[in-house]
Structure 1
Amino acid sequence: MPSLRTREAVMRTIVVTGSASGIGRATCDLLLERGARVVGVDVHDAEVVADLATPAGRTALVDRVRTLTDGTLDAVVANAGLATQTPPDVAVNYFGTVATLDGLRPLMTGTAAPRAVATASMASLMPSDTELVDLCLAGDEPGALDRAATLVETDLGHLIYASTKTALCRWVRRHAAGPGWAGAGIPLNAIAPGVVETPMVQPFLTTPEQREALAAQVPMPLHGFMAADVPARLLAWLVSEENTHLCGQVVFVDGGSDVVLRGDATW
């Protein structure tokens, strides 16, 4: 019998949303380098073109992935997101992510090492709107979108992005240990990156003054702002066969901002 060292590895099939740029693109590149079959999902330039801001787009994502993978999937990286501080952030960051994870979960139940991870944010530590968070967790998308619109109208739009990521982190914590995930042998976790220099963040980094202001808001004493390959490496490990017992964790890859902001409080 061949040893583990020489035995040929089985190719894993992994879906990555938000694959056309930023963290998603870096994650796809890394997984491909490591021999995975990657199914990218985005609103353009992807194997599956779908708009996760809409129920129809979410349904199309699941249907197309099922077809491309013959109904069998090893892992999901639910990474797609927006940072516009408008209602579409709610639709994509929370409802699109949850629909991706729930919709693709049945395709993973028959595989040897199923894994799932979502991209949250260290913004989950920032001020958020309790009503918007609660509406998200209640599954009330029309109500959540209306609340986000009200926040914009009342000059509180800056709370929207953090609220979507707070809700997502709580959703992961509430579901990861349940029968649909841990009970089915699927580790479900999230990552919480600090400032990543991606096209989504670039508008906030165009001048030295903007960079300084963002660094003050998101202190990252270890190496400062990061490139997209940093969170990509963490995502790749979380969906690897090596990750057998991490369950419901929000892993901060943030250069120390969590430590600076929360001190020794772990929750």
Structure 2
Amino acid sequence: MTRTIVITGAASGIGRATAELLAERGNRIIGVDLRGSDIDADLTTPEGRRALVDGVRDLSGGAVDGVIANAGLASPTVATAAVNYFGAVATLEGLRPLLAESPAPRAVATASMASLYPPDDALLDRLLAGDEDAALSRAGELAAGSPAEANAIYGTTKRALARWIRRHAPTPEWAGAGIPLNAIAPGVVSTAMTEQFTSTEQAREAILQMVPMPLNGIFPPRDAAYLLAWLVSEENAHLCGQVIFIDGGSDAVMRGDSTW
């Protein structure tokens, strides 16, 4: 049976690889990106998020089987906080009524192994409180600060997203409605977004000192796509609120035998 899957960030990287894989398997894809996809939408803005929901509703006829909230930025900027957290949450919440029309709905977000690094607590609290103005203000302060402060934006947004998934997945609106909600947390993936870290052997060695990946190292986006494809498949009927680290072992190295 053909399933309709919405993928944000579908024009490049993990999103594009996942769209190609799922299309090869006979699924119908509704891609969303800034440009060059089925729906052009800027998920850093409320207007863009509404355009996403309205566009998907129109193209799908009012029902979708899977949502992959994958769009994101890794730059030390305010926009990263806007799209990585508020854009992802708006995607999931906005499309949840369309998922509810499917006999086998599935939803997944793309977090990151960067969620393991210490967050900026002030930004994290504001993100989880859903206060976008305050969160973006704090992100602006970090972006104007030291490189370490600015670089904390990305990991903090991904930690907040992972926590949002954990908090909401078991609720009546998601699990109670029969919608498995989960996330993946990739390590370093070879995409345009990570080119500065992967384009030379020296750069690759440097990033692997920060992000240990003992199992096969840096990997192509297709590898993450295989996991996302399973998570939005009918076979995934019971995974609930899990953040799955597909990271070549970074999580195991950095957290040891701790599972929390």
Q: TM-score range by the shorter chain?
A: over 0.9
Give 3-state SS (helix, strand or coil) of 2:192's partner: coil
- 1:168: Cα distance to partner? 0.2
Q: Which amino acid aligns with 1:222?
A: L
Q: Which residue of 1 aligns with 2:79?
A: 88
Aligned to 1:115: 106
CA-to-aligned-CA distance 1:195-229 (integer Å, 9 cap, x gap): 00000010222333321110011000000000000
1:70 aligns with 2:72: no
Task: Report if the CA contact (8 A) 2:197-2:203 is conserved.
Answer: yes
Match of 1:144 among 129, 132, 135: 135
Secondary structure of the 1:248 match is coil
Q: 2:24 aligns with which of 33, 53, 60?
A: 33
Is 1:216 paired with 2:209? Answer: yes
What aligned pairs does 1:239-254 form with structure 2 within 5 A after superposition? 239-254=232-247
SS in 1 for 2:49: helix
**Partner residue of 1:227?**
220
What TM-score results when the alignment is normalised by the length of structure 2? 0.98
RMSD, aligned CA: 0.7
Q: Give the one of 111, 116, 140 matched to 1:125.
A: 116
**Which residue of 16, 24, 28 corresponds with 2:15?**
24
Q: Helix, strand or coil for the counterpart of 1:40?
A: strand
User: Amino acid of the residue matched to residue 175 of structure 1?
Assistant: H
Structure 2 contact 14–224 (Cα < 8 Å) conserved: yes
- Max Rg structure: 1
Select the residue among 96, 99, 116 that pairs with 2:90.
Answer: 99
Paired amino acid for 2:94: G
Whole-angstrom distance in 1 between the partners of 2:207 and 2:133: 32
Measure, in 2, the Cα distance between the counterparts of 1:152 and 1:127: 16
More helix, by proportion:
2
State the 1:108 CA deviation: 1.0
Q: What is the CA–CA distance in structure 1 between the aligned matches of 2:19 and 2:211, rounded to whole Å?
A: 27
Aligned to 2:182: 189
Kindly provide the amino acid, as one letter, of the partner of residue 161 in structure 1: Y
One-letter code aligned to 1:263: G
Whether 1:48 aligns to 2:42 is no
Aligned residues of 2:196 and 2:203 also touching (Cα < 8 A)? no
Q: What is the identity percentage for the equivalent residue pairs of Structure 1 and Structure 2?
A: 62
Aligned twin of 1:5: none
* Superposed displacement of residue 48, structure 1: 0.5
How far, CA to CA, are the matches of 1:126 and 1:209 in structure 2?
23
- 1:134-179: per-residue Cα shift (whole Å, max 9, x none)? 1001011111111011112221101000000000000000000001
- What is the CA–CA distance in structure 2 between the aligned matches of 1:25 and 1:153, rounded to whole Å? 32
Q: Distance in 2 between matches of 1:147 and 1:46?
A: 32
SS in 2 for 1:192: strand
Amino acid at match of 1:172: I
Gaps of 5+ in 2: none
Aligned residue among 189, 205, 218 for 2:198: 205
Give the Cα–Cα distance (whole angstroms) in 1 for the partners of residues 139 and 9 of structure 2: 22
1:167 aligns with 2:181: no
Please give the alpha-carbon distance, in whole angstroms, between the structure 2 residues aligned to 1:243 and 1:194.
22
SS of equivalent to 1:201:
helix
Question: Which 4+ stretches in 1 moved above 3 angstroms?
Answer: none
Give the letter for the 1:87 counterpart.
V
